[in-house]
Amino acid sequence: MEAGVASTLLLRLSGKPVASAVVYLADLGSVKLGVMYYVAVEKRWRGKGLGKVLVLSAEEAMGLRGASGYVATTTIDNRASMNLFSSLGYVVLSWDAIGRRYGWRAVENLVRATCGYEDDVAMVKPVGMKLGRLLELISAAGKRRVSRLWSRICYRPWLVLWRGSS
């Protein structure tokens, strides 16, 4: 990740790291999204509420910076992730469901804002508004702005890593 774009939360127990999260605020113009890019808990500590602590801490930090909603993505077979986010009020939606109901621009903007993939599902949690309104605002975001955001947050860091390994 580019310096200054993402924040890392690290959870330590007895001084040892046991869980971490990488998050960032995606300003789409029409809405600021708190993106949970990565949440990981060491295997032996899973199921003890540490993932919830990380997600709630990230929400608090991004909420203080103006997030109007939160989003995470995962693969369709990652039940543990979907259960974690659902337990915290996130709604799990396929890209197809979002596209049919709110338009394919909403899907394109979410995939780009989250560095997501076409075979992911989205987990979305609005703040102070209904889910439909949040997705409408995401859909309304300008294509150029979202493309620049994607390039800065997703593509450029990948390109730097790829070029460095060549």
Q: What is the pLDDT of residue 1?
A: 33
Tally of structural domains, the chain: 1
Could you give the CA distance from residue 123 to residue 69 in angstroms, rounded to a whole number? 11
Stated pTM of the model: 0.90
What pLDDT shows up at residue 4? 55
Residue 30 has pLDDT above 90, yes or no: no
Cα separation, 110 vs 90, in Å, equals 15
Whether 166 maps to a domain, the answer reads no
- Residue 58 belongs to a domain: yes
Query: Is 40 within the bounds of a domain?
Result: yes
pLDDT tens digit string along 78-137?
999 999 999 999 999 999 999 999 999 999 999 999 999 999 999 999 999 999 999 999
For 78, residues 6+ apart whose C-beta sits below 8 A from its C-beta are none
Please tell me the predicted confidence (pLDDT) of residue 6. Answer: 87
- The string of pLDDT tens digits covering residues 36-76 is 999 999 999 999 999 999 999 999 999 999 999 999 999 99
Query: What's the CATH code of the domain at 118?
Result: 3.40.630.30
- Whether residue 103 is contained in a domain is answered as yes
User: Is there a domain that residue 162 lies in?
Assistant: no
Q: Considering the domain boundaries, does residue 11 fall inside one?
A: yes
In a domain, 138, yes or no: yes
Say if strands 16-27 and 32-41 run parallel, antiparallel, or are unpaired. antiparallel
Closest among 83, 60, 68, 45 to 7, alpha carbons compared: 60
Domain limits for position 51? 7-157
Rounded mean pLDDT of the chain? 92
- What pLDDT is attached to residue 165? 66
